[in-house]
Amino acid sequence: MAEITSEIKNECIFQHRISSADLESDLNEVYRYAGIFGKDNFSPDEQLSKLAEDAVKEIREAMNPRSVYIRFPLNITESDQITYDGKSLYDISFGNVNFSSHFLGLNLQDCNSIYLFAATLGPAVDKAIQKASRINAAKAVMLQASGAMFIEKYCDCLMDFLSEAESKEGNILCPRFSPGYGDIPLEMQKTFFELLQCQKNLALTLNNSLIMSPEKSVTAFIGIKKSNEV
């Protein structure tokens, strides 16, 4: 992995938000995040169903889904370097950010531009989970799972919004790719926070362990390419 360098540029940072009432919920995803879904013929009993439904309702009332994103021209080339296990590396650059990656490079092949985004459900979700964890462990698990489901739903919603905008230019989006996956280190979070000014724009903070607060938050890259390059 090459050293990551970055510098804040005067690029446009865009904001996106949606009413919590407009985000669809998915109880199956809640059960999956809670670790109790996926078995054959799974059918929650009445008590479990109510616990999940109440958790979804509470998180929906607490959350404030919003995000910021920025778009850069992208340069990606195959590097002369290889990984320790023989995988090819790609040199990736946008703005004044330069690094090398195998897995993100594969994700971004044929892309000419890139989005970086940060999304959050807001601090009230964390407070609801923390409160439940002190008095009702089962409820806290379901609240955690509901929060995980909703932040993923919101990221999907943001991608749909960006996809619709890009389609007017004959572009399509690649699947989002977050720091901490593949060979992109969590250290990359610092680049997102610098470029997106997350603390100023979302009241989102990053601790010394590179964990975001509020916890139900996501950062990710999204590659952009011409629709005929599939």
Per-residue pLDDT tens digits for 126-163: 999 999 999 999 999 999 999 999 999 999 999 999 99
pLDDT higher than threshold 80 for residue 171: yes
pLDDT at 41: 62
81 falls in which pLDDT band (50, 70, 90)? confident
Q: What is the pLDDT of residues 95-112, one digit of tens each?
A: 999 999 999 999 999 999
Please check the confidence at residue 83 and state whether its pLDDT lies above 80. no
Task: Quote the pLDDT of residue 230.
Answer: 46
Please state, in angstroms and rounded to a whole number, the distance separating the CA atoms of residues 101 and 72.
Answer: 18
Average pLDDT rounded to a whole number, residues 182-195: 96
**Alpha-carbon distances of 109 from 36, 127, 166, 212, 226, rounded to whole Å:** 37, 40, 17, 29, 11
Q: What's the pLDDT band for 86 if we cut at 50, 70, 90?
A: confident
Q: What was the pLDDT predicted at 80?
A: 81
Rounded Cα distance, 194 and 19, in Å: 27
Helix residue spans in the chain (DSSP H): 27-33, 46-62, 103-107, 123-135, 137-167, 189-196, 198-202
What region, left, alpha or beta, does residue 115 occupy, with left being phi > 0 and alpha being psi -120 to 50 degrees?
beta
Q: Is the peptide bond before 214 cis (omega within 30 degrees of 0)?
A: yes
